[in-house]
């Protein structure tokens, strides 16, 4: 059989623990037999990040800027315990954070919907894609404790240090308390808006954006205004594509999303996105069925699974015990990258292969063969779900792919 050829490489970012184990096997048994795979390989495994003083992460992000498409394995974000476990020279920053900063991207998270796996919200039959504005607000705020008797102000100075405005935040007369100052930048909000509108058009998804501008008139009002200005550039294209855009209050957005059947893009401010993405992910069942793509305003794409390195399973694997780790989100990270590469290069065979691999993966589950996390969620008449090992599931997909 002729293997599918590639013209441009995909940036491959390897990772850690159980997902690193799955990564290798996905390539070996699901991709390499069919595709003459061209990747530019970066090892983002924690040990190699440490050996390279984390320059490898930066290089992989720059390569993504160059080639336009990357696929990333889950990676460990070091904490105190990992410092000693891996004898690290430094507590390196989250690779995802580093890559996101370099690409100035927005993360879109989408559940993989398949027959037999019901959502906890039974009306959600189509995916809800959630976009989180991953810049500013409370995530880069400064805060402080206010002593009794303090008056706390919000002060602005111009470049020469001259005070241009001063507002009293609170007079802590007779009580102690806390204060916080946060910000966002018009350029960041605008690029978030563009990326969301573009993604909605590309995926043909209607889109909701919400803030609390009735309370936060200036701050959230700015988000509302920038989204409205930006949408003016997309309105005609939205109409042509037969999709809509709705700006509303966050309370109303939550109610609408819960009552919907899914099939929409929900653009969220930073904090809303943090909270709501966990809600949406949980409602769709398993973390193993959630994909994620980082999209930059100039159209660079990095695909990955939304879950982590599944440490608990990895420790079992190291002891030689059988694991049943869901590889679906990691498979879909690969298919997402292969599809996009095919689309950008006009390589229809590559995109078609990616679609075929996705179908084989879903078909495996729909026919009742799945990893342990999905078994309690599965219900289809006449089919008793069968729990497979990590390797067994990949083999079951490989069989269907070969047909």
Residue 74 sits in the site that holds ligand NAP (CB under 6 A): yes
Could you tell me the smallest distance in angstroms from the CB atom of residue 278 to Mg ion?
4
Q: Render the burial of 106-119: b for 16+ CB within 10 Å, e for the rest.
A: bbbbbbbbbebbeb
Contact stretch for ligand NAP (CB under 6 A) within 160-168, 171-179, 310-318, 394-402: 310-318
Residue 307 sits in the site that holds ligand NAP (CB under 6 A): yes
DSSP annotation string for 162-207: -EEEEEEEEE-TT--EEEEE----HHHHHHHHHHHHHHHHHHT--E
Distance between CA atoms of 251 and 236, rounded to whole angstroms?
A: 28
Q: What are the φ/ψ torsions at residue 374 (nearest 5 degrees)?
A: -90, -20
Residue 117 sits in the site that holds ligand NAP (CB under 6 A): no
Residue 368 sits in the site that holds ligand NAP (CB under 6 A): no
Which helix or strand (DSSP H or E) is residue 370 part of? strand 369-371
Distance between CA atoms of 221 and 215, rounded to whole angstroms?
A: 9
The binding site for Mg ion (CB under 5 A) comprises 274, 278
* CA-based R_g, the chain, Å: 23
Residue 71 sits in the site that holds ligand NAP (CB under 6 A): no
Could you tell me the smallest distance in angstroms from the CB atom of residue 57 to ligand NAP?
11
List beta partners, residue 304: 72, 292
Residue 310 sits in the site that holds ligand NAP (CB under 6 A): yes
What the block records as the tokens of 229 is: 């200005």
Distance between CA atoms of 81 and 179, rounded to whole angstroms?
A: 32
What, of Mg ion, ligand NAP, none, does residue 274 touch, CB below 5 to 8 Å by kind? Mg ion
Distance between CA atoms of 212 and 371, rounded to whole angstroms?
A: 41
Task: Sketch the per residue contact string, 286 through 305, with ligand NAP: x for CB under 6 A, - otherwise.
Answer: -xx---------------x-
Residue 21 sits in the site that holds ligand NAP (CB under 6 A): no
Could you tell me the smallest distance in angstroms from the CB atom of residue 46 to ligand NAP?
9
Residue 77 sits in the site that holds ligand NAP (CB under 6 A): yes
Could you tell me the smallest distance in angstroms from the CB atom of residue 180 to Mg ion?
19
Contact stretch for ligand NAP (CB under 6 A) within 72-80, 102-110, 273-281, 353-361: 72-80
Q: Which of residues 317-336 bind ligand NAP (CB under 6 A)?
A: 325-326
Binding interface with ligand NAP (CB under 6 A):
74-77, 96, 287-288, 304, 307-312, 325-326, 373
């Amino acid at each position: 059989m002729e293997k599918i050829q590639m013209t441009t490489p995909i940036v491959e970012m390897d990772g850690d623990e159980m997902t690193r184990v799955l990564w290798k096997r996905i390539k070996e048994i699901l991709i390499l037999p069919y595709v003459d795979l061209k990747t530019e390989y970066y090892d983002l495994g924690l040990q190699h990040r440490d050996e390279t003083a984390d320059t490898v992460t930066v290089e992989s992000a720059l390569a993504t800027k160059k080639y336009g498409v990357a696929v990333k394995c889950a990676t460990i974000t070091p904490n105190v315990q990992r410092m000693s476990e891996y004898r690290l020279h430094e507590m390196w920053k989250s690779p995802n954070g580093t890559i996101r900063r370099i690409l100035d991207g927005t993360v879109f998270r989408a559940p993989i919907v398949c027959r037999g796996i019901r959502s906890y919200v039974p009306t959600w039959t189509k995916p809800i894609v959630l976009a989180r504005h991953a810049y500013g607000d409370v995530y880069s705020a400064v805060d402080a404790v206010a002593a009794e008797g303090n008056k706390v102000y919000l002060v602005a100075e111009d470049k020469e240090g001259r005070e241009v405005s001063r507002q009293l935040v609170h007079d802590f007369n007779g009580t102690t308390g806390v204060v916080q100052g946060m910000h966002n930048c018009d350029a960041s909000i605008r690029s978030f808006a563009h990326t969301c509108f573009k993604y909605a058009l590309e995926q043909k998804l209607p889109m909701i954006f919400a803030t609390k501008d009735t309370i936060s008139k200036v701050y959230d009002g700015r988000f509302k205004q920038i989204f409205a200005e930006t949408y003016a550039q997309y309105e005609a294209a939205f109409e042509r594509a037969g999709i809509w855009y709705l700006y509303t209050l966050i309370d109303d957005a939550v109610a609408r999303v819960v009552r919907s059947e899914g099939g929409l893009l929900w653009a969220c401010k930073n904090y809303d996105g943090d909270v709501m993405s966990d809600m949406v992910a949980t409602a769709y069942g398993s973390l193993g069925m959630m994909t994620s793509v980082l999209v930059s305003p100039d159209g660079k794409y990095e695909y990955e699974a939304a879950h982590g390195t599944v440490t608990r399973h990895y420790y079992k694997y190291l002891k030689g015990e059988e694991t049943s780790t869901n590889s679906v989100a990691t498979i879909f990270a690969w298919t997402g990258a292969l599809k996009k590469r095919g689309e950008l290069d006009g390589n229809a065979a590559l995109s078609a292969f990616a679609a075929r691999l996705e179908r084989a993966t879903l078909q495996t589950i729909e026919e009742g063969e799945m990893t342990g996390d999905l078994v309690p969620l599965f219900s289809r008449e006449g089919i008793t779900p069968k729990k497979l090992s990590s390797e067994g599931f990949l083999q079951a997909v490989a069989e269907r792919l070969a047909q």
